[in-house]
Amino acid sequence: MKSQLALAHGLLAVALLTGCAVKTPPMPAAPAMPAAFKENADWKPANPVDQAVRGNWWEVFGDPQLNTLESQIDVSNQTLRAQQARFLQARAAVAIAGSARYPLVTTTPSIVVGTQSGNRPNAIVHQSANDFVLPVDFSYELDVWGRVRQTVAAAAASAQASAADLETVRLSLHAELALNYFELRGLDAEKALLDNTVDAFQRALDLTRNRFAGGIASQADVDQAETQLETTRAQAVDVGVQRAALEHAIAELVGTAPSTFTLAPLPLKDPPPDIPAGLPSDLLERRPDIAGAERRIAAAAAQVGVANAAFFPRLLLTAAAGFESRSLGSWLTGLSSFWAAGPAAAYTIFDANRRRATSEQAMAAFDESIADYQDTILRSLQDVEDSLSTLRILRQEADVQANAVAAAERSVTQATNRYRGGVATYLEVITAQSAALANERTALSLLSRRLSASVLLIKALGGGWNVSTLPVIKTESR
């Protein structure tokens, strides 16, 4: 009775100490965000319609083939599958950490049959020594200082950070596919332009040859026309090198062998849609990398609590019960039963400053996570500003380039008419044609770059993701 009363008093004292959990550093406040993007200061939210890009953001481009390719990433991309496996590992780590909140019950049955040494003190020579043991061992750590709770909290926060990493990888892969796709379509448009130009230059060469046969043009005019034709034809062939590489890259992204994947030519035509950037504060909710950095702060704070708990003793409840006998016949009888129970404490008296260094290391990691969080926010603001400024400048450049294309086409018409009238050399025609081709290729390049900048803006805004979609990580052991 005295031993049981002492045990009860010990448990009561432990219960009173459970409020003495170690402290963890507080989570930092959300950083102050600018009121508007510099490149989008006049933007006003639509009322009542919400213009934010959501869900399958690539559908805003209205390209069915792009939609089909994007849908294959979530199914077949191996990089995404590897990141999903990392998230599952992190979620399983939560269950592993949470199991420490419950008792550990083990058993180690053993049967030992043998003889003892005759040279042992007070031993009979080769005395038989049989031992049949069926124990059940119980141990439970009383989480007085919150070490287990903080370990579980750190694992849960890390798992949520891993989930955010998964969404970051998903967003990057979808954006990379869209970038490759629009660049490939831009090359298709350039190839179509060059093919049409080759046809036009072939007609010009035929005209020049006819004029040469009639004694109106010189052999030099024929050679110049042929040189221009073959040069343009070579440029049309050269486009295939980069297009093939982009097609192979798209095949890898959708999880298909390049040898079995083909995209039919489809030139770009339409300009990119308008992408509403919203407010800078929206990035805190829409960027998965920011959400991941924020959850890593929580994990680092919990690790500080784990490190500080090492300065306090670990309090354990242990018990053992079972059966032990020298013979098999009396093994599982009441006389062979045994049990033992009692509290225990484990405390490190000297560790050469190891615990203090571990605590300082955890605190430094916490400070590092805060700096990473702030840096991630600054980089996200930069990404959006870069994309907005790029779109604005490219739109202005495209308007100016359209005027240049129109002027170049008029110049070709005038030079051709002057040549036919005999008041200009063929060199003037070639110069005008080369300028027109260069300006048309520049206009196509601007269209492709504008579409790519739109994709990068959507990526900088977080795509269609929202922090509310982060999975709830269960901390109960399974």
Nearest to 424 by CA among 415, 434, 432, 433: 415
Secondary structure of 305-345 as H, E, C letters = HHHHHCCCCEEEEEEEEEEEECCCCCCCCHHHEEEEEEEEE
At residue 52, the pLDDT reads: 56
Residue 214: the pLDDT is 86
pLDDT for the residue numbered 38? 83
No. of helices (H) and no. of strands (E), the chain: 9, 5
pLDDT at 113: 86
Which contiguous run of DSSP H or E holds residue 114?
strand 110-115
Alpha-carbon distance values, 310 to 26, 359, 459 (Å): 20, 9, 43
Q: What pLDDT, on the 0 to 100 scale, is given for residue 53?
A: 63
User: Do 170 and 249 form a contact (C-beta atoms < 8 A)?
Assistant: no
Compute CA 443 distance to the chain's CA centroid, rounded to the nearest angstrom: 34
Topology (CATH) of 21-102+146-312+355-469: Outer membrane efflux proteins (OEP) (1.20.1600)
Q: What is the value of pTM for the model shown? A: 0.87
Tell me how far apart the alpha carbons of residues 149 and 147 are, in angstroms, rounded to a whole number: 6
Q: How far from chain centre, in Å, is Cα 415?
A: 55
pLDDT at 115: 79
In order along its 478 residues, the chain shows pLDDT tens digits of 445 445 444 544 444 444 456 778 888 887 888 888 887 765 555 444 455 566 789 999 999 999 999 999 999 999 999 999 999 999 999 999 999 999 999 999 999 888 777 676 666 666 677 889 999 999 999 998 999 999 999 999 999 999 999 999 999 999 999 999 999 999 999 999 999 999 999 998 998 899 889 888 889 989 999 999 999 999 999 999 999 999 999 999 999 999 999 999 999 988 999 888 888 888 899 999 999 999 999 999 999 999 999 999 999 999 999 999 988 888 888 899 999 999 999 999 999 999 999 999 999 999 999 999 999 999 999 999 999 999 999 999 999 999 999 999 999 999 989 888 888 888 898 999 999 999 999 999 999 999 999 999 999 999 988 898 888 887 764 4
Residues contacting 468, CB < 8 A, separation 6+: 285
What are the sequence ranges of the domains in the chain? 21-102+146-312+355-469
